[in-house]
Every structure is written in structure tokens, then in C-alpha cells.
């Protein structure tokens, strides 16, 4: 198939259409507005429906309604709008409804700005809304990877009856790269016999709810959710390890930052410093294995983020005291440069003249 040149936001949208998503409810916000506009044009062409909601709150609740009928449905937003979706996301988890939610993160807190950031890491990986839960979070680093991960996101959502988050930063949403779409092999997903579509021909009424007034029963439901999260942790970890075998130092970065870090690593390697990279692709479940495999061999890890340091907490948990974990980050929409990261490597490695 031929490659086409597209913007990241549009790639997410087209990949969703390829994954069989026919319904999209959204609200405009920079830097993800192209995604909404693309869906508005594209979905009617495939017999689907795009609806601009009156707010992100309404959008996520429309998603809740549509997901309850068993169709593949999606919404997307950026940080402030994503915050507004949290109650609805918690309801999706509680009611076990599959949906895909995209967060193209921008600078915060508050209105912040529209520049790229990764400062919603805590919010997407630690629950975000109320209650005891986790959501699978996929963080692509290239537009081609968006194509694969968007398909995965819908499959994971259906397989585990859970919302799934695709997290990108403003850069990923705005950059253009050639991508190739493909007809994905339809994955085996369970039959949605829980969907509320009317009872005609299917026996008794079905109920979609997250309410359970009895404490023991809610605890039981929560144990069921926890068991599911455990299964997701066992099956859905995704990461890339680059030149970690001989590494004295390992950078840890995700999304577009990982690409910048990669360039810094190449430069450092030319200088004879053995540096590698661990790139978490699933932010939750967080990949622990590449750390367990390396933590007794490396001198230290350096986490690089477009935040004041959020993923570093998960890195520290995975390293579990076996090695020091250093940090370099820029916030507020400032993108770390290859030189900055390179200098950080040098300063941690100590001593190489630059």
C-alpha cells in the first residue's frame, strides 16, 4: 500500500476508522482540533456519525450511551477537556464499557497553553477520576505507530470491557509524517451480549450501571475489576528497549520525547558513552521487565519527560532502589532539545569533555 503524508491528529482519526470506529463525540480544543474536524468529514463517508457535543462532559456521556449499545466509539480532547471527562471515564470503568479516549496533552496546569506537554501522565496512569481503577494507556512515538496502537486500543477496550486512553503530546498531534494504513486482521473479541439495544429477541432486560449500594457486593465488583487489571498487566505491556544490553546509562522516555532522546543517545554513543533507551509504549500497565533486566547492570537511569517529573515515580518503583534514577525535564510546553538531553547524559556520566 502507498504511504500518505498526514498530520498526527488525522492519523489517529483515520486509524480509528480503520479499526471499525463509526461513532465519535467530541468538543474542539487545541492541539487536537484536527482530529475532531477529520471525524466530522470522514465518519459520514463510512456510514458513521460525528456529533459535536456541547462540552467534554456531554461528549464522554454520549460515548457512554453509545458504548452501551455495543458499537466502537471514541472521543478525544486535550488536557483541560480531558479533566472534564474524568467523572464519565470513571463511570465507563465502573459499568465496564469499552471506548477509546484520546488525550493530546498540552501545557498546564489551568488553561496553561497549547504547546506540547506530557504533564497529564499522573492523570492518565493513576486513575484520574474517582474510585479504584486503572486504564490501559498507549503512547505512540510516531505516526506509523499511531496506526498500530489505535487498532490495539479498540481491541483491548473490547477484550477487557474497559476504556482505553491514547496519549500523545501536542507535537505528535501536529507533526506530519508519511504513514501506511492497512486492513488489520479482525481480532477475536468477545460477543457483546451485555449491550442495551432493546430486548427484542434476546430474553430479559439488561442493565448497565456502576451503582452497587451493598458494600460487600461493590467490594466483589471491585475485586472483579482488580482481577481484570491484573490480567491486563500480564497481557498488555508494551515497550521498546534500544541498546540496553551493554548500557551503563539508560534513558527512559515515551512519546515524541523518546525520539529526541534517541538522537542524544546516538551522539553520546559516538563519544563512547554506553547509553540505551527504555521507551514505555503502554504507560499503564507500566513495563517493569526491562528495568528488572537492567537495574543490576546499569550505573543509573535518566528519565526524560515534558513535565516536572511524573513517570519517574513509576521508574523508581520498577528500579526499586537497585540503581539511581536521575531526571531531566522541561515543562510548560517547552520541548527538551537533543543537546540538553545529551548534556544531561554527560553530566550524569561525569567527566567526558564536551
Partner 1 sequence: MITVYEKTKGLTDKPTHYCPGCTHGIIHRIVGEVLAEMDILEDTIGVASVGCSVLSYEYFNCDMTQAAHGRAPAVATGIKRVLPDRFVFTYQGDGDLASIGMSEVIHAAARGEKITVIFVNNAIYGMTGGQMAPTTLIGQKTVTSPEGRNPNIQGMPIRISEMISTLDGAAYIERVSTHDVPHIAKVKKAIRKAFETQKKGIGFSLIEVLSTCPTNWGIDPIESLEWMKNNMIPAYPLGVYKNIGERE
Residues engaged in binding partner 1 (CB under 8 A): 23, 25, 49, 51, 53-55, 57-59, 61-69, 71, 73, 87-88, 91, 95, 196-201, 205-211
The least CB distance from residue 79 to partner 1, in Å, is 21
Is 232 in contact with 161 (CB distance < 8 Å)? no
CA–CA dist 259, 242 (Å, integer): 11
CA–CA dist 147, 15 (Å, integer): 5
Nearer to partner 1, 55 or 231 (CB): 55
Let me know if 183 is exposed, middle or buried by CB neighbors in 10 A (0-12, 13-18, 19+): exposed
Is 338 in contact with 260 (CB distance < 8 Å)? yes
Nearer to partner 1, 131 or 178 (CB): 131
Instruction: Give CA separation, 114 vs 8, 10, 78, 111, 278, in Å.
Output: 16, 18, 9, 9, 28
The least CB distance from residue 56 to partner 1, in Å, is 11
In the DSSP assignment, the letter for residue 126 is S
CA–CA dist 186, 155 (Å, integer): 9
The least CB distance from residue 211 to partner 1, in Å, is 6
Nearer to partner 1, 51 or 335 (CB): 51
Nearer to partner 1, 109 or 198 (CB): 198
Nearer to partner 1, 87 or 271 (CB): 87
Nearer to partner 1, 29 or 117 (CB): 29
The least CB distance from residue 53 to partner 1, in Å, is 7
Torsion angle, CA of 137/34/81/77, rounded to 10 degrees?
A: -20
Is 331 in contact with 112 (CB distance < 8 Å)? no
The least CB distance from residue 84 to partner 1, in Å, is 12
The least CB distance from residue 116 to partner 1, in Å, is 30
Nearer to partner 1, 61 or 142 (CB): 61
Nearer to partner 1, 75 or 244 (CB): 75
> What angle is formed at CA 85 by the lines to CA 148 and CA 33, rounded to 5 degrees?
60
> What's the distance, CA 269 to chain centroid?
30
The least CB distance from residue 302 to partner 1, in Å, is 42
The least CB distance from residue 280 to partner 1, in Å, is 31
In the DSSP assignment, the letter for residue 320 is T
CA–CA dist 113, 214 (Å, integer): 44
Tell me the DSSP string of 75-118: EEE-HHHHHHTHHHHHHHHHHT--EEEEEEEBS-STT--SSB--
Supply 33's cell numbers.
Answer: 482540533
Nearer to partner 1, 51 or 189 (CB): 51
The least CB distance from residue 135 to partner 1, in Å, is 17
Amino acid at each position: 500500500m502507498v504511504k500518505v503524508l498526514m498530520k498526527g491528529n488525522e492519523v489517529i482519526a483515520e486509524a480509528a476508522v480503520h479499526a471499525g470506529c463509526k461513532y465519535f463525540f467530541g468538543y474542539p480544543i487545541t492541539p487536537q482540533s484536527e482530529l475532531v474536524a477529520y471525524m466530522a468529514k470522514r465518519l459520514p463517508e463510512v456510514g458513521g456519525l460525528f456529533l459535536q457535543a456541547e462540552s467534554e462532559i456531554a461528549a464522554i456521556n454520549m460515548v457512554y450511551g453509545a458504548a452501551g449499545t455495543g458499537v466502537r466509539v471514541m472521543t478525544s480532547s486535550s488536557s483541560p477537556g480531558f479533566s472534564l471527562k474524568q467523572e464519565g471515564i470513571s463511570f465507563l470503568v465502573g459499568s465496564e464499557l469499552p471506548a477509546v479516549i484520546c488525550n493530546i496533552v498540552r501545557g498546564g496546569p489551568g488553561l496553561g497553553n497549547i504547546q506540547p506537554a506530557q504533564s497529564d501522565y499522573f492523570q492518565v496512569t493513576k486513575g484520574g477520576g474517582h474510585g479504584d481503577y486503572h486504564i490501559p494507556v498507549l503512547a505512540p512515538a510516531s505516526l506509523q505507530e499511531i496506526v498500530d496502537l489505535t487498532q490495539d486500543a479498540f481491541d483491548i477496550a473490547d477484550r477487557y470491557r474497559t476504556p482505553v486512553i491514547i496519549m500523545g503530546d501536542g507535537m505528535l498531534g501536529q507533526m506530519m509524517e508519511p504513514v501506511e494504513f492497512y486492513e488489520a486482521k479482525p481480532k477475536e473479541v468477545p460477543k457483546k451480549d451485555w449491550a442495551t439495544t432493546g430486548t427484542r429477541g434476546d430474553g430479559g432486560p439488561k442493565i448497565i450501571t456502576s451503582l452497587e449500594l451493598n458494600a460487600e457486593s461493590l467490594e466483589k465488583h471491585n475485586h472483579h475489576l482488580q482481577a481484570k487489571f491484573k490480567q491486563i498487566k500480564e497481557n498488555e505491556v508494551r515497550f521498546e528497549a534500544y541498546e540496553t544490553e551493554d548500557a551503563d546509562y539508560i534513558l527512559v522516555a515515551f512519546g515524541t520525547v523518546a525520539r529526541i532522546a534517541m538522537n542524544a543517545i546516538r551522539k553520546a554513543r559516538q563519544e563512547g558513552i554506553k547509553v540505551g533507551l527504555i521507551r514505555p509504549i503502554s504507560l499503564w500497565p507500566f513495563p517493569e521487565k526491562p528495568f528488572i533486566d537492567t537495574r543490576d547492570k546499569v550505573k543509573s537511569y535518566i528519565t526524560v519527560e515534558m513535565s516536572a517529573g511524573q513517570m519517574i515515580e513509576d521508574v523508581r518503583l520498577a528500579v526499586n532502589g537497585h540503581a539511581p534514577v536521575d531526571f531531566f525535564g522541561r515543562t510548560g510546553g517547552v520541548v527538551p532539545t537533543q543537546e540538553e538531553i545529551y548534556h544531561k547524559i554527560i553530566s550524569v556520566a561525569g567527566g567526558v569533555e564536551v
